[in-house]
A and B are shown apart, each in its own frame.
Chain A
Amino acid sequence: MELPVISNAPAEKSGGCSASGCGSAPEALAHLPEDIRRKVQDHPCYSEEAHHHFARMHVAVAPACNIQCHYCNRKYDCANESRPGVVSELLDPEQAVRKVLAVAAAIPQMSVLGIAGPGDALANPRRTFATFRALAEKAPDLKLCLSTNGLMLPQYVDEIARHNIDHVTITINCLDAEIGARIYPWIYWQNCRLRGVEAARILIGQQQKGLEMLAARGILVKVNSVLIPGVNDAHLPEVSRTVKAKGAFLHNVMPLIAEAGHGTWYGLTGQRSPSAAELQALQDACAGDMAMMRHCRQCRADAVGLLGEDRGAEFTLDRIDAMDIDYAAAMARREEVRAALLGRLAAARTPAVTEAVTAAARPVLMAVAAKNGVVGEHFGHAREFLVYEASPAGVRFIGHRQAARYCGGADRCGDGDAAPESILERTIAALAGCEAVLCAKVGIEPWGRLEAAGIAPNGEHALEPIEDAVRAVYAEMAAAGKLAQAAAERKVA
């Protein structure tokens, strides 16, 4: 079967690592059980660490869809879900397999193959599973994953398990059918086109059932939600709680992309997209409940390469046909690269400071005024602090603490008139439990107050990567003999 080309419009440049979402931003997976961490450690879409090093690709073998979303217009390609831009080359399963093998030979960091569209993976079961089946046989080292709207999920859970697909992404925008009716105008269900609340209720039911069934089989489930201001924004924290309770391991809230030019219902009816601040606030509201993915790049359905890059143009079918590939050697090479990368990541995680730190050293919490993955913020400017735990086992991300901001300007950091006592007090209270606070700069006034509260201010690691800085401070504490004392004694001392 040959799938005709929908459009040859040039690929949109997908946003690379944006300044704030990337860098060594907090590892969102720190809280996960060890077995899940192992599964995702080389998955660029799930692990913030991995996404700098491992590559993924999507193949566009799934053109059909079985629902309509108001943020999508099939004529112009969906701007939301996992496929902004234009899917230029639809492939049949045989072509897709050839392409994957060629890419995996040329890019040995390839660890993940996904099917995400341009329609719905499970609305194209024959094409989707034929592709997976062939790849499981020919490149068993690749992780397979798929994205779906969930409508057909319960029917295919067994087949998903059979093909050794260990990651499934479900787009769940709501649990409430009334809200759903404002997002989904129709679904195709049991040979009929259904509309309104009835349609939304069926879709939501199928999504939730599918999620539970996948979780029961030990298949990792990530949930994507599109944040639509005024429609599901207030509802998403509940979505987050519910999907977590049912076993999803990650929740990814993505901003609605709606412009009239996209020809979508939302775009044409003036539905606005959320601001960055709204998105952040919502991610924070949901983060209390479960791991949030903040580095998602919303890649195209035919994306190739590291997250934030797309090398798809190098692998058109004509070019692939001209390539001479030794598949077995390529797989061996991938294994080498994978082992080396995982080794490097592990080495970066486990401290090189162990000389000073004895195994008996106690863990220490430190707060970091972070910016772009480094110790980059002035104490007085920080809106939030990232809290890390340093221990003989390494450095790990614990969570966020919201700061009360008090500093009025860059040059009056912390010691000017804009520093009401109560704000500083509230921030210091928010840092309770931390023994040090790492920032680019601290003013005299807060310096003294922090010390008095038992939190050592530290501006010596400005602009260093967060984890390196935390590790270094921990080593300094060890060298100063501070890690043998219990935390309580220290406070008094």
Chain B
Amino acid sequence: MTLQITEVCVNCWACVDVCPNEAIYADRPHLLIDDAKCTECLGDHAEPQCAAICPIECAIVGELGDPLNPPGSLTGIPPATLAELGLLAAGGR
């Protein structure tokens, strides 16, 4: 029961400030989620907070590497366009 941050993270710290469990910590090259602390926000919020504020598609993934914000879901830029431009982030790890 824990989420993870992927290499497309831009280190904007937005998730750190909204995590109810202080589960997100600084690391290189990007922030990480402490599996011992992350509860996926169950009991605190309806949505996992890190994923609700994260501006980067595919930066936050579930246990199976499934992105909570898949390509196109935040920017509205169609995945096909992203792929064409080589901007499509690898979802998961």
A415 to chain B, nearest CB (A): 57
- In the bound assembly, the distance between CA atoms of A263 and B13 in angstroms comes to 21
Q: Please state if A269 and B13 are interface contacts (CB–CB under 8 Å).
A: no
- In the bound assembly, the distance between CA atoms of A63 and B13 in angstroms comes to 6
Query: Number of A interface residues, CB 8 Å?
Result: 32
- Is B55 positioned at the interface, with any CB of A under 8 Å from its CB? yes
Interface residues of chain B: helix, strand, loop or mixed (majority)? loop
**CB < 8 Å neighbour of B85 from A124, A186, A192, A260:** A260
Q: Please state if A124 and B13 are interface contacts (CB–CB under 8 Å).
A: yes
Q: Please state if B47 and A193 are interface contacts (CB–CB under 8 Å).
A: yes
A63 and B11 contact, Cβ closer than 8 Å, known pairs A1-B26, A4-B29, A4-B30: yes
- Is B87 positioned at the interface, with any CB of A under 8 Å from its CB? yes
Q: Please state if A68 and B74 are interface contacts (CB–CB under 8 Å).
A: yes
Neighbouring A residues of B76 by C-beta, 8 Å: 70, 185, 265
- In the bound assembly, the distance between CA atoms of A186 and B55 in angstroms comes to 10
Q: Please state if A265 and B47 are interface contacts (CB–CB under 8 Å).
A: no
Q: Which B-chain residue is minimally distant from A269 (CB atoms)?
A: B77
Most chain A beta-carbon neighbours within 10 Å: one of B45, B55, B76: B55
Neighbouring B residues of A6 by C-beta, 8 Å: 10-11
- In the bound assembly, the distance between CA atoms of A70 and B77 in angstroms comes to 10
Q: 1/0 contact trace for A368-379 toward B, CB 8 Å? A: 000000000000
- Is B90 positioned at the interface, with any CB of A under 8 Å from its CB? no
B66 to chain A, nearest CB (A): 17
Neighbouring B residues of A38 by C-beta, 8 Å: none
Identify 21 residue pairs between A and B in the complex whose beta-carbon atoms are under 8 Å apart, listed by A's number. A1-B26, A3-B11, A3-B13, A4-B26, A64-B12, A64-B53, A68-B55, A68-B74, A90-B11, A123-B14, A123-B17, A186-B74, A188-B14, A188-B18, A193-B53, A264-B75, A265-B75, A265-B76, A268-B77, A268-B81, A268-B85
Residues of A bordering B, CB below 8 Å = 1-4, 6, 63-66, 68, 70, 73-75, 90, 118-119, 123-124, 126, 185-186, 188, 191-193, 260, 263-265, 268-269
Residues of B bordering A, CB below 8 Å = 8, 10-14, 16-18, 26, 28-30, 45-47, 49, 52-53, 55-56, 74-77, 81, 85, 87
